[in-house]
Amino acid sequence: MREFLIFRLYGMMASWGDIAVGELRPTFDHPSRSAIVGLLAAALGIRRDEEEQLSALSNACRIAIRVDAPGVLLRDYHTSQVPPAGRGRKKRSFATRKEELAIPREDLSTVLSTRDYRCDAVSTVCVESAPCSLADLANALNNPVFVLYLGRKSCPPALPVYAQVVRGENLAAAFSSARFPDGDLLQGLLGDGDLRVFWEGDEDAGIPAIQTTLRYDNPLSRKRWQFGSRAEHYGVLRGGSPCT
């Protein structure tokens, strides 16, 4: 029997960043690997500039996502006033947003962007292996050092994650073993029947792999905001029992 860490993510809004080009900031309908690694790091108290610890965490973890409810897409047309960057000796830095807006109004520029969110989305996350024990990681998620959020700082979890360690022969058994005490609160959002599952590592997870795709959400450097590729398997958990 293998050990797995299971926890649930639910929020009024979430944003799982897709590849962003120009003004469009899209989102996947399930959590990205970089978002989950960042969430685990926040729980453990690992800062963004601690590259060695972040790399060790990312390299050790194998992550799977069960989509219990994909949520509803919300698209926000976002405008933001920004000061000119300047060049050479005229280049300025600003410590706060208040300082940015303190320059004359006529010198401010406007940046336009479209940002996507998923509303009322529910996902169950499974982690196998970590640089610390899964029990310690579960305790950190339930008592995080830093605030947890669902892709963006403006998107906190709306319910406890209820991190727990379960045992099972494979990924499918691990998902089936998880129990959440407030699962009834989400029943109105959850469908019946088959559930989509995304995972990395071995294809043999107790769930037949329908497709394997290349995702560019493997964090390499938070300082330089660099991401690498990875293979992600997709399958369907027949007759799944979401968030019970």
The whole-angstrom separation of Cα 186 and Cα 244 is 9
**With 60 as the cut, is the pLDDT of residue 167 above it?**
yes
With bands split at pLDDT 50, 70 and 90, how would you rate the model's confidence at 42?
very high
Mean pLDDT across the chain: 89
Query: At 116, is the pLDDT very low, low, confident or very high (cuts 50, 70, 90)?
Result: very high
Is the CB of residue 31 less than 8 Å from the CB of residue 9?
yes
- pLDDT bracket for residue 37 (50, 70, 90): very high
- 18 pLDDT above the threshold of 80: no
Task: Look up residue 100 and give its amino acid.
Answer: E
Buried b (16+ CB within 10 A) or exposed e, 207-220: bebeeeeebebbbe
Q: Name the packing angle between helices 51-60 and 33-44 (round to 10°).
A: 120
pLDDT at 124: 97
Answer yes or no: is pLDDT of 36 > 80: yes
pLDDT in tens, 191-211: 777 899 999 987 778 899 999
pLDDT the model gives residue 241: 61
Tell me the CA distances in angstroms from 150 to 133, 147, 156, 165, one per residue in order.
23, 10, 6, 21
Q: In the chain, what are the domains? A: 2-73+119-237 (3.30.70.2660)
CA neighbor of 209 nearest in space, from 229, 230, 236? 236
Compute CA distances 207 → 8, 64, 84, 132, whole Å. Answer: 20, 12, 52, 27
Question: Across the strands, what pairs with 125?
Answer: 7, 65
pLDDT band at 244 (very low <50, low <70, confident <90, very high): low
How high is the pLDDT of residue 86? 65
Per-residue tokens: 35: 């978002």
Residue 220 pLDDT grade (very low, low, confident, very high; cuts 50, 70, 90): confident
Averaged pLDDT, 25-34: 90
Record the pTM. Answer: 0.86
How many whole angstroms separate alpha carbon 112 and alpha carbon 227? Answer: 25
| Confidence tier at 131 by pLDDT (50, 70, 90) | confident
Give tens-digit pLDDT for 72-108. Answer: 999 999 888 888 776 555 667 788 888 888 888 888 8
Lowest mean pLDDT among 64-68, 170-174, 238-242: 238-242
- pLDDT recorded at residue 83: 84
pLDDT for res 89: 54
